[in-house]
Amino acid sequence: MSVVLIGGMDRLERQYVDEAERAGVSLRVFNTAKPGIAAKLKNVDAVVIFTNKVSHRARNEALSAAKANKIPVFMHHACGVCTLRECLKCMHIINHTGGMKDV
């Protein structure tokens, strides 16, 4: 599974990637708004946005790209490693049950 994380803290980037690897997920992290972020979201399975550590522009661009490509988006205000871990667990449950009805 390939996931993109938008936002978060620079100093935790390595921990985010390590946690995703433990969950069997390939994670790309964009801590800041970068030009052309929408093009980088086309081939991912999900997008996680940490809303307290991201600009409105980056958030809106990511949401638009995800909606256009029918990519699920998980938004959380907190930006800790535990938040990412819980989000990855939720994605795992959704993928293995076939939808949100059992979550």
Task: Give kind and range of the element (H or E) at residue 29.
Answer: strand 26-30
Fold of 2-102: Rossmann fold (3.40.50)
Per residue in 47-82, pLDDT (tens digit) is: 999 999 888 988 999 999 999 999 999 999 999 999
Q: Do residues 12 and 39 make contact, with C-beta atoms less than 8 angstroms apart?
A: no
Q: 10 Å Cβ neighbour count for 33?
A: 17
Share of the chain above pLDDT 90, in %: 67
CA 31, CA 55: separation in Å to the nearest integer? 10
Residues 6+ apart with CB under 8 A from 35: none
CA 60, CA 95: separation in Å to the nearest integer? 25
- Encoded amino acid at 59, one letter: R
Give me the pLDDT at residue 99, please.
63
The whole-model pTM stands at: 0.88
